[in-house]
Amino acid sequence: MTSNNLKLNFGPQHPAAHGVMRLIMEMDGEVVVGLDPHIGLLHRGTEKLAEIKPFNHSIGYMDRMDYVSMMCCEHPYILAIEKLVGVKPPVRAQYIRVMFDEITRILNHLLWLGCHGLDIGAMALFLYCFREREDLLDCYEAVSGARMHATYYRPGGVYRDLPDSMPKFEANKYISEKKVKKLNYNRDGSLLDFIKDFTDRFPGHVDEYETLLTDNRIWKQRTVDIGIVTPERAIELGFTGAMLRGSGVAWDLRRKQPYEVYNELDFKIPVGVNGDCYDRYLVRVEEMRQSNLIIQQCIQWLEKNPGPVMIDDNKLATPKRSSMKHDMESLIYHFKLFTEGYSVPEGSVYTAIEHPKGEFGVFLMSDGANKPYRLKIRAPSFPHLAAISEMSKGHMLADVVSIIGTLDVVFGEIDR
Amino acid sequence: MDNQTLISCLKDKLTGFDIEYSESNESVTIEVNKTNLVDICKILKSESSLSFNMLIDICAIDYLSYGDADWKTLDATNTGFSRAVKKTIIPDPDEHYDEKRFGVFYQLLSIDHNVRLSISTFTGSDNPPTIDSVNGVWNSANWFEREAFDLMGIQFKGHPDLRRILTDYGFIGHPFRKDFPTNGNLEVVYDEEQEKVVYKPVSITTRPGVPRIIRKDK
């Protein structure tokens, strides 16, 4: 450190910081020599809040962890409860979960691609990515009623079965009948038909994004050889997901420690070579294509196999409204579930899934009560952001923006 | 590698340490003494038949109110919801903690053998609770330990940069301890007279929505 070094503050309100992050940078001219991230500006104490609520009340809080891949954050929490209680959801519910996990992965990667592009100068891409996100958010809405914070997964299955119809656009004084007809062209069938139409179109859209970026000279100048992480360092630093695979380590929980029905599905795991920003970009784009294939397989299965989507155990699942009208037991279970919740047997468990950003884990400890004793969320972006200082040293100031982008950080889950 | 193979392999490599092995919910947990923690971690990482090369997570736990239920009908009163409200405990700075007050869980992953392991340990009666840092074994421990220090107040001996990470600048206390009220102690308000934002004691009181009930009838 020389006396000529300049201390520079970046954020907390900076469009390229992807949320509220403050970086204290030490600059030697335009080169970063030291970097200290200050986080916690979005700390809501979710883990503490979960301790004062019955188990089911916290599912909605999980959506707000990583608010760009909502259902994937519910998933490990639900799995942890199911493991402690010792139940397994019906196969149809498992397929629905896998399908929505993959829809969520595409949602997450689209947002990442759009914003990462925007950060380093590719404006048009952002608009295209958000166009496709809109369709997927409609799927969220159709199935749960909420575009983002779905609270759709429940211990023992999912909240309800896939709907038979899609919501449609209606004509008004701004949108003509003709325009509405065009907008509704894929909304006449069920939700599955709508998703199917999307999966048919989507590979073409990914080709469009790649045309804009993959061989783009400016894109390559901004990403190739920026933020290189060797496989050894990636493991040492606790990297998971695309950050680890970008460095060339073939590790994916969907394949290595399969949960739900991933072991019955056919998909490939893309792996990078150099471990730079460009490789991680390629890995994530290929992951979108693979997710699309998984969704198609799920649709095929779901179309052929109707069935229950929730276990038939009223200690965990809400009794049917119709049975409550004449069955005393159902009424009691309903009352108990909504006033007290269910008690989870004593013990602790760690469950993890392959979240779009990496390994999203939940450590859940119960002392036998109707509320968690301790909930710890292992957010994938947390160790990724911890490495930003090591990744950025020696790079230019502008490259720090590329590195923040490639980390795919979301402060909802880092700050919790 | 399945859990039985893992346990026998661990027993083979970790001879001479006082370790309790347990298997529950499809995962293996070892309970170790905090004085041996770093030595054990080094073996777990370097031994090629184990090679736990990734530290996934560190979770600190405060066992102060473990097994406490709000709704104990024996000493219930007729004062309605207030019976589930606990009085705030003000921690005594000179107090020596119960041996089993604070625990730390480490989640490890071996990428080579595709197996997970959790290590649990207690910090003993030290005040502040102290344990050796594993940052020298796995670099990913750096922020996880800072987080545990910030939220639970556990001192990690040998950590290069043990600062608060998630709470506000100038925050007092460790919010995830069970004796720290969920409402917090201070709130931020704009003061008209002083024409600036000031800290004041919180104006809201605790009121639980659903009481905490322990049922073991399953």
Kindly state whether A19 is in contact with chain B, defined as any CB-CB distance less than 8 angstroms.
no
Question: What is the share, in percent, of chain A residues with pLDDT greater than 70?
Answer: 99
Coil vs helix vs strand at A100: helix
Q: Facing residues of A6 across strands?
A: A27
A residues 200..239 contacting B (CB < 8 A): 235-238
Please judge whether A53 and B209 are an interchain contact, meaning their C-beta atoms are less than 8 angstroms apart: yes
How far is the C-alpha of A342 from the C-alpha of A333, rounded, in Å?
Answer: 10
pLDDT digits (tens, 9 = 90+) for B4-21: 888 888 888 888 888 888
Mean pLDDT of chain A: 90
Instruction: Kindly state the DSSP code that residue A310 receives in the 8-state scheme.
Output: B
Question: What is the share, in percent, of chain B residues with pLDDT greater than 70?
Answer: 88
Kindly state whether A34 is in contact with chain B, defined as any CB-CB distance less than 8 angstroms.
no
Predicted confidence at residue A96, as pLDDT, reads: 93
Among B24, B139, B213, the residue with its CB nearest the CB of A236 is B139
Predicted confidence at residue A11, as pLDDT, reads: 76
Instruction: Kindly state the DSSP code that residue A318 receives in the 8-state scheme.
Output: P
In sequence order, what DSSP letters do the residues of B41-81 get, joined into one string?
HHHHHH-TTT---EEEEEEEEE-TTTT--S--GGG--SSGG
- Closest by CA to A407, choosing from A148, A7, A39, is A39
pLDDT digits (tens, 9 = 90+) for B172-187: 889 998 888 888 888 8
Which of these ranges, A194-203, A213-222, B16-25, has the smallest mean pLDDT?
B16-25
pLDDT band at A282 (very low <50, low <70, confident <90, very high): very high
Q: What is the chain B residue with the closest CA to A256? A: B114
User: What residues of B are in contact with residue A22 (Cβ under 8 Å)?
Assistant: none
Bond prior to B128 in cis (omega within 30° of 0): yes
Predicted confidence at residue B82, as pLDDT, reads: 53
Instruction: Kindly state the DSSP code that residue A57 receives in the 8-state scheme.
Output: G
Residue A160 CB-density burial (10 A; 0-12 exposed, 13-18 middle, 19+ buried) = middle
* pLDDT surpasses 60 at B50: yes
Dihedral angle over CA of B66, B67, B70, B74, nearest 10: -140
Predicted confidence at residue B106, as pLDDT, reads: 93
pLDDT band at B47 (very low <50, low <70, confident <90, very high): confident
The model carries a pTM of 0.90
C-alpha distances in angstroms, A150 versus A72, A140, A391? 11, 7, 35
- Closest by CA to A309, choosing from A318, A322, A300, A296, is A318
Query: Is residue A303 within 8 Å of residue A296, measured between CB atoms?
Result: no
Predicted confidence at residue A361, as pLDDT, reads: 92
One-letter amino acid for residue B23 of the chain: E
User: What residues of B are in contact with residue A45 (Cβ under 8 Å)?
Assistant: 175-176, 182
Predicted confidence at residue B105, as pLDDT, reads: 93
Quick one: tokens of A169? 């656009």
Q: What is the chain B residue with the closest CA to A84? A: B25
Kindly state whether A250 is in contact with chain B, defined as any CB-CB distance less than 8 angstroms.
no
Kindly state whether A134 is in contact with chain B, defined as any CB-CB distance less than 8 angstroms.
no
How far is the C-alpha of B37 from the C-alpha of A199, rounded, in Å?
Answer: 50
Q: What is the chain B residue with the closest CA to A337? A: B210
pLDDT digits (tens, 9 = 90+) for B124-149: 888 888 999 999 899 999 999 999 99
Kindly state whether A28 is in contact with chain B, defined as any CB-CB distance less than 8 angstroms.
no
Q: Choose between B25 and A395: higher pLDDT.
A: A395
Please judge whether A340 and B213 are an interchain contact, meaning their C-beta atoms are less than 8 angstroms apart: yes
Q: Å from A19 to nearest chain B CA?
A: 15
Angle between helices A91-119 and A191-213 (to 10 degrees): 30
User: What residues of A are in contact with residue B211 (Cβ under 8 Å)?
Assistant: 340
- Closest by CA to B147, choosing from B123, B164, B133, is B164
User: What residues of A are in contact with residue B61 (Cβ under 8 Å)?
Assistant: 365, 374
3-state helix, strand, coil in chain B (%, to 5): 20, 25, 55
Q: Choose between A8 and B83: higher pLDDT.
A: A8
Among B56, B59, B214, the residue with its CB nearest the CB of A369 is B214
